Structure 1
Amino acid sequence: MLGVTPTRIQALIKKGKLTTRRDARGKEQIERKSLEERLAAFRNEKHDSNISLNMLLNAVRTFHHLNHFVVGTGNRNDLLLRLALLIQEIGELSETVTKSSKGANHGFTDADWTAMQNEWGDVLYLMIGWAVEMGWDADTIAEIFQRTHQKNLSRAPRHTALARTSPEPPTTE
């Protein structure tokens, strides 16, 4: 994804791939058109599908910057808004799963499968946005994940409905 660390931004400005202007307060701002062109060029490049968490964070930071979202406050109202957006997207994911037709992909049609991936992507994007809001970097997220993973490994499963004691019987369609 597009790297947007301050060092990377300065390198892109020096190479002429991003242009800036001074705002009314004299603060240097990246021109929106320039950033949009850079993002469009980025979308047309071939990418390795094995992307890093840093790349995901940078991409979402770019989106936040492009849309002038305030980040880093960590205040309750901002987190409540993010929570409401997340609940909405989880509802859309739930609707996709519960109201889908029968099909080949684990019981989903191709259109339902794509819709589910899109909704899952929206949830993931919002969770990464939450990390951006909180100022978490990839190391912090990895620590959070490891803490949760170790906790889950150290206790008996609570969600036994997900466990299979024998292989599932084949489904008929």
Structure 2
Amino acid sequence: MLVGNRIPYEYFITSGVGESDIAIHAGSFDQALRDAGIQNVNIITYSSIMPKKARKVEKRELKFGSVAETIMAVANGEKGQRVTAGIIIGWVYDDKGNKVGGLVAEYHGNDEEEKAKEILRKSMEEMFKSRFHSNYQLKDVEIYIRSFIPKKKYGTAIVAIVFVSYEYPEL
């Protein structure tokens, strides 16, 4: 039996913030992963495409040392500077109402939450228009944002889609 590329099937969404006086990567980023509950896994990041069958599930405990494949927004900053990360997910449907798949855009910067949401919406619209013609619709749009102002030297905010199961299509 031949199988094709595996396709992510189930996912959960998580977010976290962290701060540190020592460093960004081993400090505030690690603390943000801890806050998100994904600190003990090896993270691989994907580009921004969701398979049509993908479905959101409750957050799961991941095995220590396992691989977590994600679409992740990461924002870093310094003390007193707003740090904002966010993702937007939109699902594409054809003119018959069939789900084609999903698009994800990420935001990482220093804007307030409302400005970050505005940028995410514009990014999603641009992604959609560059890929699909008028016979398609973008629906079921969801935005997830995490923002804070660090009190320590460094701060990190993350928002992640974490894939937890996969399908293997037969060829």
* Greater share of strand: 2
Q: Whose RCO is larger (CA < 8 A, sep 6+)?
A: 2
- Normalising by the smaller structure, the TM-score range is under 0.3
Q: TM-score normalised to the size of structure 2?
A: 0.25
* Greater share of helix: 1
